[in-house]
Amino acid sequence: MNANTAVHPVDEKLPLGRLTALGLQHVLVMYAGAIAVPLIVGRALKLSPEQVALLISADLFACGLVTLIQSLGVTRYFGIKLPVMMGVTFAAVGPMVAFANAMPGVDGARAIFGAIIGAGIISLVIAPLVSKMLRFFPPVVTGTIITIIGVSLMRVGVGWAMGGPAFLAQSPDVPKLIAMVDKVKEGAAAAAASAAPGASALALRLPGPIPMVDNPAYGALDNMAVAAFVLVVVLLLVKYMKGFIANISVLLGIVAGCVVAIAMGKMNFDKVGKASWFEVVQPFAFGMPTFDIVMILTMTLVMIVVMIESTGMFLALSDITGKKISQPELAAGLRTDGLGTLIGGIFNTFPYTSFSQNVGLVGVTGVRSRYVTVAGGIIMIILGMLPKMAAFVEAIPQFVLGGAGLVMFGMVAATGIRILSTVDYKNNRNNLYVVALAIGFGLIPLVAPRWTQQMAHGLHPLLESGILLTAISAVVLNLFFNGAKEDAAGAIEAAKAAEAH
């Protein structure tokens, strides 16, 4: 290469010390979001603490591996070759939790990994097509989807703060229930004895609702106080700190909450002590995955939404770094989303996308070198091979995560609202109907969890995800009202708005 040829800032190789520090900065910014998904799904599957720790290790390892592929590039078919950090997408949480509720345990995990592998393979094939589908996902659609993702996840954050899902608030009062049943049986026996011969037997019916007793562990005031403390720490850091400290406020809030939980005797390190120092992440650690066509199609729909969001992120990053990307390069970036998802399924983890907060960090720091995220990817791989780190994360009490979850998931919803604020409602009132109805459809599984009970069981995972219902309805309604107009500039602005979370 000619010595006078300037190297683009994206391709600049920085000194090792600075590269490592900047890479660690990217890791810390995304770390809280990266560990949230394996914690949510692992606990929804009712896996053991050791198995949840394995999910966390696998997640960090795969985050790093896919980040390297995306930032460095592998052949001309994989990698956008921009400073991108890859992480597990929140968009897949709703469907995966629905799968987990229907089939908990290792069998459920294997079914989820099978669906992720299938969706990853399909995503690899359709990536070039998706790169041309931006017109179907203008800000009115993406903003609505991201809003409902945040609203759906708030259930998880509130559940963490309360001590579990809402149904754990009460349990049947067994002694009272037994006494009630015995009394009904006595009445039925007396009625049967006095009835004429040949009369039909009376059906047993309880005289009132099943007696319930409050669960003392649910909504415990000391636990909620710790969750509130974490929330206050995060808010104080955001208000009074700037730059890097403000960017990792959620992570620092979790650390502060852990200190308080340890002081209260509510967090122990038994499992951390038993965990090994170093271990290579093994593929198919839960056994060979199982494949269900409805689950695969559901996850594929999620991946289409994820790739469209990635398209906006890549266009925004191109704008921030000043490096133009061609259609084949965009397809290579989206193909890596599919490859990363396939790798995720093989290594016992979940679908991957570019993390928007790291795109925002590129704009904040002004450092555009993709080798910074390469360094971040290497750090993530190393963290993924340290089981003690995963065991420590798994040991964090749910109520500590609750305060952070309210911020993390609330910010996702706020990001969607921020994107929707860029939509033109004055000159196009139809956009109001797109948002209103798509959010309405997305809320159905939240307000009526059993709305599918009269439908075919195989459709339940698809219909129990408010995120998928919102995505499908928003796309269809936008096509109905607005058609399919190309709006790359709108997508870039929407992606820049999304960098806030």
C-beta atoms surrounding 448 within 10 Å: 10
Phi, psi dihedrals of residue 253, rounded to the nearest 5°: -65, -40
Q: Write down the residue that tokens 């070198």 correspond to.
A: 369
C-beta atoms surrounding 121 within 10 Å: 17
Q: What is the DSSP string of 111-144?
A: HHHHHHHHHHHHHHHHHHHHTT-GGG--HHHHHH
Contact predicate 92/123, CB 8 Å: no
Contact predicate 147/417, CB 8 Å: yes
Closest by CA to 151, choosing from 416, 350, 357, is: 416
Q: Is the dihedral of CA 398, 399, 400, 401 positive or negative?
A: positive
In whole numbers, what is the pLDDT of the chain averaged over residues?
A: 82
Considering just the CA atoms, what is the radius of gyration of the chain in Å? 25
Helix axes 93-102, 16-44, angle to 10 degrees: 40
Tokens describing residue 55: 């999910």
Contact predicate 259/409, CB 8 Å: no
Give the residue ranges of the chain where pLDDT is below 70.
1-5, 164-168, 191-206, 208, 244, 275, 356-358, 360-361, 363-365, 458, 461-462, 486-501
Residues 132-174: pLDDT tens digits? 777 777 889 888 887 887 888 788 778 878 876 666 677 777 7
Tokens describing residue 106: 């290792």
| Neighbouring residues of 361: CB distance < 8 A, sequence distance ≥ 6 | 25, 26, 29, 247
CA distances from 278 to 111, 338, 388 (A): 28, 29, 8
Domain range annotation of the chain: 12-151+268-398+418-498
Residues pairing with 78 in the sheet: 74
Closest by CA to 30, choosing from 415, 380, 365, is: 380
Using a pLDDT cut of 90, give the percent of the chain over it. 18
pTM for this predicted structure:
0.71
What's the pLDDT score for residue 33? Answer: 75
Residues 271-317: pLDDT tens digits? 777 767 888 888 898 999 999 898 898 899 888 878 877 887 787 77
Q: What is the DSSP string of 401-441?
A: HHHHHHHHHHHHHHHHHHHHTTS--SS-THHHHHHHHHHHH
Q: Is the dihedral of CA 268, 237, 310, 134 positive or negative?
A: positive
